[in-house]
Amino acid sequence: MEIPDVIKGILILVFVFVPIEKALAFHHQKLLREGWFTDLCYYFSGYFIGHGTTKLLIIFVLMSQGSIPILSKFVGQQTLVLQVTVAIFIGDLCFYFAHRLLHTVPWLWQFHVIHHSSTHIDWLATVRVHPFEQILTKACQMIPLYLLGFSSEALAIYIIFSSAIAFFIHANVRVKFPILKWLIATPEFHRWHHDRYPQKYAQNLAVQLPILDYIFGTLYMPENEQPKLYGTRLNASTNYFNHLIYPFKNWNKKNADK
User: 226-251 pLDDT, tens per residue?
Assistant: 888 888 876 555 789 989 998 888 66
Whether 1 maps to a domain, the answer reads no
Whether 4 maps to a domain, the answer reads no
Give 184-209 pLDDT, tens digit per residue: 999 999 999 998 876 556 899 999 99
At residue 184's C-alpha, the angle toward residues 61 and 221, to 5°, is 120
Tell me which of 225 and 237 has the higher pLDDT.
Answer: 225
pLDDT at residue 141, rounded to an integer: 93
Range of the domain at 70: 35-249
> What is the tally of structural domains in the chain?
1
Give whole-number Cα distances, 255 to 45, 111, 126, 158, 191, in Å. Answer: 27, 11, 22, 33, 21
Rounded to the nearest 10 degrees, what angle do helices 131-147 and 36-63 cross at?
Answer: 30
pLDDT at residue 169, rounded to an integer: 96
Is the pLDDT at 51 greater than 90? The verdict is: no
pLDDT at residue 192, rounded to an integer: 92
Whether 196 maps to a domain, the answer reads yes
Is the pLDDT at 255 greater than 50? The verdict is: no
Lowest mean pLDDT among 87-101, 127-141, 189-203: 189-203
pLDDT at residue 187, rounded to an integer: 95
Helix (H/G/I), strand (E/B), else coil: 108: helix
Whether 9 maps to a domain, the answer reads no
**Interval 17-29 mean pLDDT:** 93
Whether 5 maps to a domain, the answer reads no
pLDDT at residue 258, rounded to an integer: 53
Is the pLDDT at 22 greater than 90? The verdict is: yes
Whether 26 maps to a domain, the answer reads no
Whether 48 maps to a domain, the answer reads yes
Q: How does residue 147 score in pLDDT terms, banded at 50, 70 and 90?
A: confident
Is the pLDDT at 256 greater than 50? The verdict is: no
Mean pLDDT of the chain: 87
Nearest to 128 by CA among 195, 198, 207, 41: 41
pLDDT at residue 257, rounded to an integer: 56
Whether 83 maps to a domain, the answer reads yes
